[in-house]
Amino acid sequence: MTPSRAMMLTEYGRPLVVRNRTIPVPQHGEIRLRVSACGVCRTDLHVVDGELTKAPLPLIPGHEIVGYVDALGPDVNDFSLGQRVGVPWLGYTCGKCAYCGSGLENLCDHPLFTGYTRDGGYATHVVADAHYVFTLPEAKADAALAPLLCAGLIGWRSLRMAQDAKRLGLFGFGAAAHIVTQVALWEHRRVFAFTRTGDGESQSFALRLGAEWAGSSDEAPPEPLDAAIIFAPVGALVPQALKVVRKGGRVVCAGIHMSDIPSFPYKLLWEERQVVSVANLTRADGDSFFRILPQIGIETQISTYPLTEANQALADLRSGRIVGAAVLTM
C-alpha cells in the first residue's frame, strides 16, 4: 500500500518536516479521509509556535480539512465511500460533563481538537471521529471550502455573539473577516474594517467586498459601532475596540490565543459595554452555517500551496503576506 505523507511538527517553534507513514486505520466510530485540501489557520501558528498548552509530539497540524471518505470504521453507517466531507477544529467531546449536557459542547471538559490533540489535515490521509464531521455543499471546489471549516465557523459563532449589531467592526481582516463580511452583508449589517497600520491591500480588499469603511486599528470609524469582533491575536486591540463601540456595545474576542490585554481606564468599559470571548464551536454551529451557506453565496479568496510547502504558507500567514486565506492542496 502507498504510504501516507504528512507534514509533522516534531519540535515546537521549528519548521514542520515531511514524513511518510503507514496509512492510518479508522477505529470504532471513525472514518478515514483522503485529504484534498486543508486550510492554513492562524491557530495552526499558535500550535506550531507552542503558544497553546503543549500537546505531545509528533503532531500533524491542520483543522480546516476537506476530503473524501475512503474507509469506514466499525459501526459507522452515516457515510459512504467517496463522499466529500469536512473536518473542523472540534474533533471530539466527552458527552458526559455538565457543559456537554447543557448544549455547550464547545466548553467540554475533555475535548480533542483536530490538528492539536489529534492528528490533523496537513497530510494525504486523516482519521476523524464520524460524529464530528460535516457534509459539505456540493457546488464549491475543495480548496474554496477549506477555510469555511474554521475561519467560517468561528466567524459564524462570533457573529452570533455580536447579537443584532447593525454597525459591525472587524479588527484584523484576514481569512475569518473576509468570510464574516459576506455573511454580515447578507444579514443587512454594515461592516467597518480595521487592519494593521499601512495595510492598504487588506483595506482595499475589505472595501471591494462591501465594507462601508476601512482604516487602521488606531483610527476612529465615522460613527460609533454596535459591536466589534477581534480576529487579530493582539490584546491591545481590546481597549481600541471599546473606544469605538457605543454605550451598551459588545466586543467579541474571537481567537483561541491573544497577547495580554493592557490595563485601560474603567470609563472605556462603563456604560454597560461588554467584552466576551468565543471558544471553539459546536456541531450545531456547523449545521446551521452549512445549511444557509448556499443562500449566501460566499466566495473565499485563497492562495494555494502544495502540501510540502506548508512551512512557506505558515511563514506567509505570519508575516501578513496573505490576503484572504491560505490552503494546502494534496
262-300 pLDDT, tens digit per residue, is 999 999 999 999 999 999 999 999 999 999 999 999 999
Residue 146 forms part of a structural domain: no
- Exposure class string for 219-241: b at 16+ Cβ within 10 A, else e: eebeeebbbbbbbbbbebbbbbb
Task: Specify the pLDDT at position 140.
Answer: 87
Do residues 158 and 115 both lie within one domain? no
Q: Residue 107 sits in which domain range?
A: 4-136+300-329
Alpha-carbon span 322 to 42, nearest angstrom? 11
101's CB contacts (< 8 A; 6+ apart) are none
In a domain, 285, yes or no: no
Q: What Cα–Cα distance (Å) separates residue 280 from each residue in 190, 192, 208, 219, 259?
A: 25, 24, 29, 30, 18
Do 74 and 162 lie in a common domain?
Answer: no
Same domain, 63 and 164: no
The verdict on 103 and 176 lying in the same domain is no
pLDDT digit of tens for each residue in the chain (330 aa)?
A: 568 999 999 999 999 999 999 999 999 999 999 999 999 999 999 999 999 999 999 999 999 999 999 999 999 999 999 999 999 999 999 999 999 999 999 999 999 999 999 999 999 999 999 999 999 988 789 999 999 999 999 999 999 999 999 999 999 999 999 999 999 999 999 999 999 988 899 999 999 999 999 999 999 999 999 999 999 999 999 999 999 999 999 999 999 999 999 999 999 999 999 999 999 999 999 999 999 999 999 999 999 999 999 999 999 999 989 999 999 999
284 domain-assigned: no
129 with 22, same domain: the answer is: yes
**pLDDT of amino acid 166:** 98
